[in-house]
Amino acid sequence: MIHNKSIVELGAGLQTGEFSSVELTHHFIQRIEQLDKDLNAFVSTTPEQALAEAESADQAIKTGQAGPLTGIPIVQKDIFCTRGVKTSCGSKMLDNFISPYDATVVEKLKRAGVVSLGKANMDEFAMGSSNETSFYGPVHNPWDKGRVPGGSSGGSAAAVAARLAVAATGTDTGGSIRQPAAFCGITGLKPTYGRISRFGMIAFASSLDQAGPMTRDAADAALMLQAMAGFDPKDSTCANQPVPDYSATLSDSLEGLKVGLPREYFGEGLDPSVAASVDAAIDLYKRLGAEVIDISLPNSGLAVPTYYVVAPAECSSNLSRFDGVRFGYRCQQPKDLEDLYKRSRGEGFGAEVKRRIMIGTYALSAGYYDAYYLKAQKTRHLISDDFKQAFKTVDVIMGPTTPTPAFGLGEKVDDPVTMYLNDIYTIATNLAGLPGVSIPIEPVSGLPVGLQIIGNYFTEAKLLNVAHRFQQETEWHRLAPEDSRLNP
Amino acid sequence: MSLDHSDITKIAHLARMALDESQVDAYAEDLSNILGLVEQLEAAETDAIEPMSHPLHMAQRLRADAVTEEDCRDENQAVAPSVENGLYLVPRVIE
Amino acid sequence: MQWETVIGLEIHTQLATKSKIFSGASIAYGADPNTQACIIDLGFPGVLPVLNEAVVDMALTFGLAINAEIGPRSVFARKNYFYPDLPKGYQISQFELPIVGMGSLTIDLEDGSQKVIGITRAHLEEDAGKSLHEDFHGMSGIDLNRTGTPLLEIVSEPDMRSIKEAVAYARKIHQLVVYLGICDGNMQEGSFRVDANLSIRPFGQEAFGTRTELKNLNSFRFMERALNFELERQIDLIEGGGKVVQETRLYDADRDETRSMRSKEEANDYRYFPDPDLLPVEINDQQLQRARQNMPELPDQKRQRFESDYSLSSTDALMLTQSRQQADFFEKVVSNGGDARMAANWVTVELTGALNKAGIPLSQSPVTPEQVGGLLRRIADNTISGKLAKQVFEAMWNGEGDADKVIEAKGLKQITDSGQIETIIDEIIANNPKQVEQFRAGKDKLLGFFVGQVMKQTQGKANPGQVNKILLGKLKG
């Protein structure tokens, strides 16, 4: 079926005229109409805009002006501002917000010729690991609708996994691309902090947030990243680094690749069947010529607590702009200014957002700053130094993306701390600003499992090469939820 | 560190968020649990460690001093809850 | 009880850039509400700040001018609080590591003495918008045009011991930032805003008293009046057995009093932390070098040079260097052939008088320095007398052309032909025998009468030196 094809395969079909982008887009619009009722992966769909974009894509293909993404239907996480289209960030606060501008990522992808099918559901303001905090209701995991798709880019991951879009954009602050990619059996890349512009991406925690592609496989991720990455004068934290050709090195040999296995990522809390799946993947890498080295990231245990100071502190300030004055939700008949602020924010934000704003407010407040915020900035340094040390001896670090496969809807939603611990393997890379990719490996009891590969700064090309070589040898990334082999 | 009802009320005020009174205790419990998690940091030896605010060691880039923005008031105010004569309206500000 | 006044000032200077500190929106004054507030200024979801290069250069220039500690790193921080004129819910400012560290400025006092005032720091920050309170059905209207306008906040040490010192310091900072070209100094438009911290203590006591902060001092006159009011209020309060409460007070110019701003007083917890959207500003040697090279001559240096190069009195040098424009005007007059001391006099007295009378600034003077120089040349070479020069100046002011043209057109050229003057004098002596007799009898004062007669006859054109000499010769016989 056409919807099972990757960007690379579809690109070939579009070029040869086997099908048009309009036909392809129609097909996906129909699939969304039929299947998204049960998944809730989309917050909004923009079929008219999509078809108009598809038409110009077909035009570009005819005139020989097409690039590898021209005419490819994708979905944007609803955290990216899209001009003229509702940009809700999964929140009641922005349920009425039509952005007057496009995020840099949106602009770049438009320029690359993609067709945007709509906006993907997500945890409210990207705060969550299960997509259960969305104002628009939870997203269901296409592999088992009683389970979560992961979060916060849960809608993006579910849409790609369920073949409702060929690819998606996501954002990752503590694992929000990699964890849902692992739970939904797709490839999700969080690039180095600063690789992709944050302009127009609604901020959760500015020093941790990073956009990235969510795709069927590493080759598609390379094409998406190629379009998304690069310097942006509008973002002070965006790196002015050359963007290499990510597709060119995908098939390079892994002979002599030094793979570090941090013992802290294989200890207590890791589901034994997930561990077995990861071990099998690592065995394959050995057969591909990799040398496996036992390493230690001694401060790994500090990552989650450090994150739950730094991220809430930044979010408490970033979300102050939602005050009911210039955009977004405003409470009914405020009796005075303070009432306007308090009720607009109290009614507009959900419980998890409020928890994090309060934690952050507290961590920055007079008398607690040193004990919480300053301390966390220091432990952040320790965590970052662990990686610096490790990358002196290894090329990449591997381990499980998550301790378990997707958990049940409602299972952890009432226990924030347990929920937070689900991100135990992904958070440290955000604190350090390093790139990481999650790729599907052997499923466990019919549920996808992810292998996380972490690289040094700006080594996305290497990560994609390492991921792609695995995918050349395996079929896990080709499995679809509709596939009878997994859901008998 | 355990937070009680009045701590939550204070923090919520600082953050200008109205909380449903019936939920304050639940927030107190959640936040106390989160702080319990965070307190693991205390054990880390950080006396000689520099605080880290940014993942990359880059310096601030500077923009040339030029006017590049046009007037987009109408478009920007299209999403505003309340405007009049080009001004955003809020309940009276008392100085 | 004898009370000692202790004052420290925080001065917000609006930097004279084209665009805002973190966005490309214009900072021009007086635009329609919210037409100069772009999505970045408005804090729309997803927007990010990028620092304006000119703002850094201007701050460095100021830092060098006050011999401050600068760099190598400076950090922007967020100051978090909710207010309708603050769109993001935080102000981007600097807390630790301001761009300009400890420096100092020497002020001149009325008695001719000088005093060094410490400047704790100067930091960059963004301005807030404005709340308008006209009646919008019980609502306030918010104009965010000013949001993001670059400010350099200059914080002094509590080094001033009198209101006069405080005013002298504020004036000196004003003069300096205008000289440096980093601020237009317009106090009515809010380009230069002074907040004052004032406390009192018994003479001899070391510990500071409790201070109050005065806001809204938007002219030097108001500043002086507000400080006077506040000083009296604190003395009365303490002497009446009361206590000064640490608070912010607003000066009300209409009532000439200060009153408490309780709305701002609610225990603020600003939760400062480094802004993660901005990276540390690194000040390198090239930047400092550039700022040093672009640094204009400062008022004090200029004043010393005027004294030594032009042999001016210290009073004239001080007056002329009050503004860079006036000093430049003076130097142009001199370079156009004007005698320095005469030029000083003409610029500070005649020109300034005419400008004041017309109520226009020097920049709009209808008379150019070249014209004044031309006029002074004609005085020096005896073409016209000093008295007639004023007439020529007036004509130049009215747009009648250069000095030479006016002199020619009005026939104001001085009569220096001795024969012609003698003939006139002979006639006057012949027509006034009584006065001649009285003069010869010892009434010396009558010389003035004869000079006056000569000038009347010649419409003031006769060379006064020659007139005197010839008159004396003839009268004394």
As beta bridge partners, residue C106 has C116
Q: Which two tokens stand for residue C6?
A: 């202790």
Segment among A60-69, C243-252, C268-277 with least mean pLDDT:
C243-252
Task: Please spell the DSSP secondary structure of C116-161, one letter per residue.
Answer: EEEEEEEEEEE---EEEEEEETTEEEEE-TTTT-EEEEEEE-S-B-
Number of CB atoms found within 10 A of residue A20's CB: 18
Secondary structure class of A69 (helix, strand, coil): coil
Q: In C, which residues are within 8 Å of B63 by CB distance?
A: 24, 50-53
Strand (E) or helix (H) holding C25: none
Query: Cβ(A356)–Cβ(B27) under 8 Å?
Result: no
The enclosing domain of B27 has a CATH number of 1.10.20
Is residue A273 less than 8 Å (CB to CB) from chain C? no
A203 vs A172, A208, C276, CA distance in Å?
11, 10, 11
- Is C82 at the interface with chain A, CB within 8 A? yes
Q: Which of A316, A292, A306, A313 is nearest to A423 (CA)?
A: A306
Q: How confident is the model at residue B13 (pLDDT cuts 50, 70, 90)?
A: very high
Pick the CATH number of A2-247 from 3.50.50.60, 3.40.920.10, 3.90.1300.10, 3.40.50.261: 3.90.1300.10
Q: Do A382 and B41 touch (CB under 8 A)?
A: no
DSSP H or E stretch at residue C372: helix C369-380
Phi and psi at residue C352, in whole multiples of 5°?
-60, -40
Q: Is pLDDT at A266 greater than 50 in this prediction?
A: yes
pLDDT digits (tens, 9 = 90+) for C104-120: 999 999 888 999 999 99
Chains that touch B (3 or more CB pairs under 8 A): A, C
**Encoding tokens for residue C474?**
């003839």
Give pLDDT, residue C265. Answer: 47
Judged by CB atoms closer than 8 Å, whether chains meet at C136 and B16 is answered as no
> What is the domain range of residue B10?
5-43
Is the preceding peptide bond at A152 cis, omega within 30 degrees of 0?
A: yes
B44 contacts on A by Cβ (under 8 Å): 299, 302, 375, 378-379, 382
Q: Summarize the confidence of residues C266-293 as an average pLDDT.
A: 91
Hey, where are the domains in chain C?
A: 3-288, 297-410, 418-475
Apex A162 CA angle, A156 and A168, nearest 5: 25
Q: Return the SS3 of C223.
A: helix
Residue type, A320: S
Domain range list for chain A: 2-247, 301-378
Number of C-beta neighbours around residue B35 at 10 A: 20
Amino acid at A127: M
pLDDT (0 to 100) of residue A179 = 98
C418-475: which CATH topology?
Arc Repressor Mutant, subunit A (1.10.10)
Instruction: Report the pLDDT value the prediction gives residue C435, as an integer from 0 to 100.
Output: 86
Mapped onto helix, strand or coil, the DSSP state of residue A206 is: coil
For residue A214, the distance in angstroms to the closest alpha carbon of chain B comes to 23
- Rounded to an integer, what distance in angstroms lies between the CA atom of residue A170 and that of residue A126? 10
Enter the tokens of residue A452.
Answer: 């996380």
Helix (H, G, I), strand (E, B) or coil at A54: helix
The 10s digit of each residue's pLDDT in C37-47 is: 999 999 999 99
Among A107-116, A327-336, A478-487, the range scoring the smallest mean pLDDT is A478-487
For residue C262, name the pLDDT band (cuts at 50, 70, 90): low
Q: Is the pLDDT of residue C204 over 80?
A: yes
Chain B interface includes A388 (CB < 8 A): no
Q: Is C388's pLDDT higher than 70?
A: yes
Per-residue b or e along C419-458, where b marks 16 or more CB atoms closer than 10 Å to that residue's CB: eebeebbeebbeebeebbeebeeeeeebeeebbebbbebb
Q: How many CB atoms lie within 10 A of CB A333?
A: 9
Contact of A397 with A259, CB cutoff 8 Å: yes
| Residue A40 · residue A132 · CB < 8 Å | no
Mean pLDDT of the C227-246 span = 94
d(CA A320, CA A342): 11
Q: Are C90 and C278 in contact (CB under 8 A)?
A: no
C-alpha neighbours within 13 Å on the C-beta side of residue B60: 27
Proportion of chain C above pLDDT 70, given as a percent: 98
pLDDT at A487: 42
Other C-beta atoms within 10 Å of A18: how many? 11
Residue B34 in any domain: the answer is: yes
What does the pLDDT look like over C39-73, one tens digit per residue? 999 999 999 999 999 999 999 999 999 999 998 99
Q: Is B48 on the interface with A (CB under 8 A)?
A: no
B33 belongs to a structural domain? yes
pLDDT at C406 exceeding the cut of 80? yes
Question: Which residues have CB under 8 Å from A478's CB, separation 6+?
Answer: A4, A216
Residue C136 in contact with residue C129, Cβ under 8 Å? no
β A396-400/C77-80 pair status: unpaired
Read off the pLDDT of residues A405-444 as tens digits, 9 standing for 90 and up.
999 999 998 899 989 998 999 999 999 999 999 999 999 9
3-state secondary structure of A248: coil
Give percent of chain B with pLDDT exceeding 70.
Answer: 97
State how beta strands C248-252 and C257-260 pair: antiparallel
Contact C243, C212 (CB under 8 A): no
Per-residue exposure over A338-375, b if at least 16 CB sit within 10 Å of its own CB, e if not? eebbbbbbbbbbbbbbbbbbbbbbbbbbeebbebbbbb
What pLDDT does C261 receive?
Answer: 81
Residue C446 tokens, joined:
């009558």
Task: Give the whole-angstrom CA distance, residue A260 versus residue A399.
Answer: 9
pLDDT at residue C110, as a whole number:
87
Least confident of A316-325, C130-139, C330-339: C130-139
**Strands A291-295, A258-262: pairing kind:** parallel
> Is the CB of C56 inside 8 Å of chain B's CB atoms?
yes
Give the pLDDT score at A484: 43
- In what order do the strands lie in the sheet containing C77-80? C90-93, C77-80, C273-274
| Residue A191, token pair as written in the block | 């690039």
Structural domain tally of chain B?
A: 1
Phi-psi domain of A319 (left: phi exceeds 0; alpha: psi -120 through 50; beta: other): alpha
Active-site positions of A? 77, 152, 176
In this prediction, what percent of chain C has a pLDDT beyond 90? 68
Place of tokens 């592999």: A143
For residue B48, tell me if it sits in a domain. Answer: no
pLDDT over threshold 60, residue C263: no
**In this predicted structure, what is the pLDDT of residue A295?**
98
| Cα(A229)–Cα(A244) distance, integer angstroms | 10
pLDDT tens digits along A335-352:
999 999 999 999 999 999
Per-residue pLDDT at C382 exceeds 70: yes
CB contact under 8 A, B88 and C274: no
A233 vs B contacts (CB less than 8 Å):
61, 63
pLDDT exceeds 50 at position A12: yes
Minimal CA separation from C147 to chain B, in Å: 14
Between β-strands C257-260 and C3-14, what pairing exists: parallel, antiparallel or unpaired? unpaired
CA distance B94 to chain C (A): 7
Q: In this structure, are residues A216 and A160 in contact, taking their beta carbons and an 8 Å threshold?
A: yes
Q: Find, in chain C, the residue whose alpha carbon is nearest to that of B83.
A: C141
* Closest Cα in chain A to C91: A317
User: Which tokens in the block code for residue C130?
Assistant: 């404005």
pLDDT at C420: 85
Least Cα distance to C319 among C337, C306, C332 occurs for C306
What single-letter amino acid sits at A402? T
What pLDDT score does A486 carry? 43
Interface confidence, given as ipTM, is 0.97
Lowest mean pLDDT among A184-193, C342-351, C400-409: C400-409
What would the pLDDT profile of C124-154 be if each residue is shown by its tens digit? 999 999 998 776 788 999 999 999 999 999 9
Average pLDDT, chain A: 96
Report d(CA C280, CA C77) in Å as an integer: 10
CA Rg value for chain C: 30
- Which residues, other chains included, contact C301 with Cβ-Cβ below 8 Å and sequence gap of 6+? none
Tokens 């409790």 correspond to: C210
Closest CA to C121 of C95, C101, C94: C101
Pairing of strands A210-215, A167-172: antiparallel
